Chains A and B, each alone.
Chain A
Amino acid sequence: MTPSPAGAARPVPFRKILIANRGEIACRIIRTLREMGIASVSIHHAVEARARHVREADEAVEIAGETPVAAHLDIARIIEAARRTGADAIHPGYGFLSENARFARAVTEAGLVFIGPDADAIALMGDKISARQFAEEHGVPVAPSVMPTEDLPDFLKRAAGIGFPLLIKAAAGGGGKGMSIVRSAAELEGAARLASSEAQRYFGDGRVYAELFVERPRHIEVQVLGDGKGGAIHLFERECSVQRRFQKIIEEAPAANLSPALRDEICASAARLAAAAGYRNAGTVEYILGADGRFFFLEMNTRLQVEHPVTEMITGLDLVRLQIEIAAGHGLPMHQDEVTAHGHAIECRICAEDPARDFLPETGTVLHLDVPRAPHLRFENALDRGQRVTADFDPMLAKLVAHGPDRASATQRSIEALRELALLGVKTNVDYLARVLEHPAFAAGELHTGFVAEHRNALAAPELDRQTADRALIAAALGMREFHSLVFDVPEPHASIGPWRN
């Protein structure tokens, strides 16, 4: 099939699509469905019966569940809901059942269309070992490693062959036991023996494992689209190196300071992998990129990513629309050389958490939400004033995405939007995100996954200066009934006479 030109609408056979998700992503999908003239069905647990994704959908179905999360993972009930409402297809969003091969299969078996890859692709990429092997077989670099063994001399020989630094750990391990970083051949044997004996002692399994240790690694990922018939294109890369608690908090596209050659190499390898897998629909290939320019396959996410808007903003494409079109059998929307990128986009994940307390989740009630608006901004959320923010779901509340002609302006626009954004009633990382963006190392593009830890002190909230504190106190007081009456209820002439004493 000849790909149609970018942006041109291609008719699809779906009249109604059920969204097996909630929150901002459900709302975002509903938005595209509406544009495409497709009816939407939301699902929800009883606790979120009045949530925005429920209100905005054309129809909503309550799914019973012991916990709200359990409801969103209940394959049988969700498919039943789709059947009952007459939906033609199911969009899984991200998280929940989006990478569940069993779900994808069940959807298909129910005679519905699963908007995503087929179950086999999900299964292939869902298993870390098989995915890694598959990548390696198709010329996508993987981090060199020595597979678990008890044969120490063999281990040492092969490990030395990889080069340094090396990460050595117990095969059965966890919790850092027996883990060490080896920077030279001289240290190798001692470290391996120690790791092995500790592994034996703690886990009763003396096998050790070694892998090339990438120092100051960057997290680079590539958005791909496959037609399921061996055709695949990429929509450029995203950088997601700024992370805390092993989760991304700031993503951007394109990656900073990436040479065009390296960019092309990484992106091409991702498209190659998708094509080789006969991958259908949107997916993301994740890489680790070392300071030396070497990059290694990490994993492939067989779904829409949280951070997909940054790709949308630089390419001008609607990924959800493309997903639906591909699911409808339209194939790829364009040739690789028709995909163009403009400017720079940054996404900040706004989470209910306290950066001062190791990013522990916070709860509360949304008392006020005031969102900056501009053509270059997207604020993806499903928040309502008065909404309780509980521990029932992920602490991510919203995403603020800003576009600019270059990285510096996208950064500046993000900072301004974060400063202007008012989300009151639950503690969030909004100010923390602004401090990250303001940090000179961020501006310089000196990113790696240890960024948050490395700059911990510099990123801590500064002392509140007296001027701001005074202004805040005055502004707060004037909003309080008692202080307001103290100011305004004094009669004349007393208010004019002022604090006179005779």
Chain B
Amino acid sequence: MPFKLAIDGKPHSLTILARRPQLVVAVDGRRHVVETVDAAGDGRRALTIDGAETGFVRAETVEGALLRIDGRTIEVRRLDAATEASAAGSGAHLVRAPMPGIVISIHKTAGDSVRRGETVITIESMKLQMKLDAPRDGEIAEIGIREGEGFEKDAVLARLAAPASEG
């Protein structure tokens, strides 16, 4: 599976064409021979790419890495299939109750757009408050419960609208 990264929101795909005798990597289909591949890790590093030694400084971040290379600082983010699928509107449509309880607060109303991981409803169950998040990016189609109301395990508390393309 190609490795996907983004710079300034623009996606790039990296894949490995060969490992021996040298590492050959394709970036968006452009072939690069990579030598003197050192260990992973942050700090000042060097690689020989297409015969030219390239010094750089690297720092890993939560989303990817920061690079100081060719006199520029570049932020590289990782893209994974889950994020892409979520952005494309696939994923679960339902916010379900993981256990019986009551609704403490509802943070969204029908028609609101949500990002994956955004809290839709806060519930309380077994003396524990819990946030229920949107399973993907999308629009709230329906909130099926009101604040203060109780529910059973697996009850559907909110529903996301189906992506427009699937109409």
Contact = CB atoms under 8 A, between A and B. Distances in A.
A352 B120 CA distance: 34
Contacts of B14: 473-474, 477, 483
Interface string B38-59: 0011111101010000101111
Interface stretch (B68-76, B95-103, B154-162): B68-76
B76 A476 contact: yes
Given A368-B59, A431-B71, A479-B41, A474 B17 contact: no
Contacts of A490: 19
Interface in B71-116: 71-74, 76, 78
Contacts of B59: 367-368, 424-425
Nearest to B49: A471
A469 interface: yes
Given A368-B43, A368-B57, A474-B27, A468 B19 contact: no
B32 A470 contact: yes
A430 B49 CA distance: 25
Contact of A422 (B37, B41, B68): B68
B51 to A, nearest CB: 12
Contacts of A421: 68
Given A370-B44, A464-B7, A471-B54, A476 B19 contact: no
A79 B60 CA distance: 43
B27 A424 contact: no
Given A470-B27, A470-B30, A498-B19, A475 B44 contact: no
Contacts of A428: 73
Size class of the contact patch on chain B: 35 or more
A482 interface: yes
Given A370-B57, A424-B59, A468-B72, A476 B64 contact: yes
Contacts of B32: 470, 474
Contacts, number: 139
A476 B71 contact: no
Interface in A448-502: 464, 466, 468-484, 486-487, 490, 495-496, 498-499
Contacts of B12: 469, 473
Contacts of A498: 17-20
Contacts of A434: 71
Contact of B74 (A472, A477, A479, A483): A472
Given A425-B59, A474-B47, A468 B66 contact: no
Contacts of A496: 19-20
B143 interface: no
Contacts of A481: 40
Nearest to A438: B71
B42 A474 contact: no
A476 B42 contact: no
A376 interface: no
Contacts of A476: 5, 58, 64-65, 67, 74, 76
A473 B73 contact: no
A419 interface: yes
Contacts of B23: 487
B25 interface: yes
B25 A474 contact: yes
Contact of A431 (B28, B40, B72): B72
Contact of B40 (A422, A470, A479): A479
24 contacts: A367-B42, A368-B57, A370-B43, A422-B57, A422-B68, A424-B66, A424-B68, A425-B59, A425-B61, A425-B66, A468-B70, A470-B27, A471-B49, A471-B69, A472-B74, A475-B69, A476-B74, A476-B76, A479-B41, A479-B45, A483-B3, A486-B3, A487-B37, A498-B18
Interface of A: 367-368, 370, 418-419, 421-422, 424-425, 427-428, 430-431, 434, 464, 466, 468-484, 486-487, 490, 495-496, 498-499
Question: Which 6 A-B pairs rank lowest in CB-CB distance, beginning with the nearest?
Answer: A419-B71, A422-B57, A367-B59, A476-B76, A422-B68, A368-B59
